[in-house]
Amino acid sequence: MMMGNSHHSFEHPFPQPSAPPLSESNRLLILSGAGNPEVNGIYDWKSDAVGKNDKLGCRPGVWMQRDGLCWIGFQDCRGFGHPEWNKWVVFNDTGVVYAAHTGGQSDCPPREGVWEETAWAEALSLGTAGKHPAPTCKLEHCNDSGQPGQAGRLQPQELRHGALVSLTLESHPGKALVPSFIQRFEGIPDHTGRVGRTWILWNLRLGDASEAVELALEGEPDKTVLRKHGDVHKVALEVNCRKMEVNNQIFLWNDDPPVPACHHSFFCINADATISPHGHQHLVLGLAPDNLNTSLVPRQDPRRFVFSFKARRDLKHEDGQASNSTQLTTGQPQLKLKLRGGTARLQLIEIRHAVTWKEAEEIANAKAGGLPTCDDLKAAKISAGDGVDLWMPVRRDDGLENDYCQIGNHPGPFKARYISHRDCYGVPIWCDNTQAASWRPTICFYAKAGVSSEAH
């Protein structure tokens, strides 16, 4: 017998459907984040199929779960005078689990966004109400391999070793994970009591999508190191002290000198676009209790991060060369750089603390071939990464002193990379002091390679 949820009396219309018509055969439906995890996954449209254990008399034509037994059908309640009860319904082996009303419409696709819990289903013996939270629904075109695919976006299944992903968030529209430098730690015991070690830590904070961190995959998506793109210390995603516990914080970390890749934690990029520590898929990256930083949360926790993975598919620069041919690290002290009239080199000069511009010039002249220009850094594609504010000391062709070049993005009105501080903001007030700050070099800076005066 076909039944309606007659105990409902709707005073406000439900959100109108936002997806295209169902007539397209190349669409997929994806449920994610449900408190009943068995309903999560990819669903295919079957135009003539009917679902099992149908306690509502749904119309023929259902969404069938690809890797499970759940299905989604449409209950048309116009036949007994209650179109306001029209809804798409998720079924498992007990019956109704979740639903999404259509605001009285009957020929419309499932609405995208968060669906509804179904206490009414249990009250009417139509099923067992799904646990909180209700799933999030998304309709997508499928690619040639039958997987979700959308222009400008990479799906977890498409990612490969070498892919560069921007950690923008689908679960938090307009937001992303943004890197924030914490400190270079040296001269103190680490968490094991070991001394003599130096390490670098960054936070990953919830911030604006325009400042999203970019991470490079070093492995396949089911087991990969996720390393911050363009970082001089090759910091990578890490679980605090490797403790796989709820609310344990996530950092970007590496030692100085950098540790081998096998010493970093591995992560798994899941099919529902969440990220888990490898081997601990019950935990995912999510919002920490401080509502700012990133920590581990249960996979079905409402705080979980679902990523949109807007990405470049490989690590290449504008000139088409692989990025590791132009990346510079402390373990790779020199870099070939194409300039007009020939080939030049840059090298890293290590320092133990922030130095004044004059000290940087003197050190660069003594240890190398002097400071580079903004054009030199631009030609070499030296980059701190998007959303990172970092100035490098440079010389100018006009001979003026106390200038710095931005190799990331300054948060002020001039956001372009490779701008001159003097030209855009004037002489920096900190150029003649040695106070540490996140926007100035404290461990190394760039110089033009050349014959050191110390060699004479």
* pLDDT tens digits for range 309-350: 754 444 333 333 333 323 333 222 333 333 322 334 788 787
Residue 38 and residue 51 in contact, taking contact as beta carbons nearer than 8 Å: no
Q: What is the pLDDT of residue 272?
A: 81
Instruction: Give domain limits for the chain.
Output: 27-141, 156-312, 323-455
Rounded to an integer, the average pLDDT of 365-393 is 88
Residue 407 and residue 110: Cα distance in Å, rounded? 46
CATH architecture, domain 156-312: Trefoil (2.80)
The rounded percent of the chain whose pLDDT value lies above 90 is 39
* Residue the block writes with tokens 């149908």: 54
Rounded to an integer, the average pLDDT of 337-366 is 73
Query: At residue 5, does pLDDT exceed 70?
Result: no
Closest CA to 120 of 2, 16, 3, 1: 3
Q: What digits encode the pLDDT tens for the residues 206-247?
A: 998 888 899 988 888 888 999 998 888 899 999 998 899 999
Q: What digits encode the pLDDT tens for the residues 397-452?
A: 999 999 999 998 888 888 899 999 999 989 999 999 988 777 888 778 889 987 54
The rounded percent of the chain whose pLDDT value lies above 70 is 81
Q: What is the pLDDT of residue 15?
A: 36
What is the b/e burial string over 323-359, where b = at least 16 CB atoms within 10 angstroms of the residue's CB? beebbbbbeeeebebeeeeeebbbbbbebeebbebee
Residue 31 and residue 8: Cα distance in Å, rounded? 25
Q: What is this structure's pTM? A: 0.43
Closest CA to 360 of 326, 330, 402: 402
* Residue the block writes with tokens 């003197």: 362
Question: Which is more confidently placed, 389 or 266?
Answer: 266
Question: Which is more confidently placed, 329 or 383?
Answer: 383
Q: What digits encode the pLDDT tens for the residues 33-57?
A: 899 999 998 898 888 889 998 999 9
Q: What is the pLDDT of residue 348?
A: 79
Q: What is the pLDDT of residue 148?
A: 53
Residue 309 and residue 159 in contact, taking contact as beta carbons nearer than 8 Å: yes
Residue 417 and residue 415: Cα distance in Å, rounded? 7
At residue 373's C-alpha, the angle toward residues 212 and 367, to 5°, is 105
Which distant-in-sequence residues (6+ apart) come within 8 Å of 186 by Cβ? 197, 198, 199, 256
Q: What is the pLDDT of residue 260?
A: 82
Which range (88-92, 268-272, 290-294) has the least confidence?
Answer: 268-272
Confidence class for position 7, pLDDT limits 50, 70, 90: very low
Confidence class for position 354, pLDDT limits 50, 70, 90: confident
Q: What is the pLDDT of residue 361?
A: 96
Q: What digits encode the pLDDT tens for the residues 54-74?
A: 999 999 999 999 888 999 999
Query: At residue 144, does pLDDT exceed 60?
Result: no
CB atoms within 10 A of CB 322: 12
What are residue 443's phi and psi, to 5 degrees? -125, -20
Torsion of CA 315, 440, 405, 397, to 10 degrees: -130
CB atoms within 10 A of CB 196: 8
Residues in the chain: 456
Q: What is the pLDDT of residue 67?
A: 81
Rounded to an integer, the average pLDDT of 23-34 is 74
Confidence class for position 152, pLDDT limits 50, 70, 90: very low
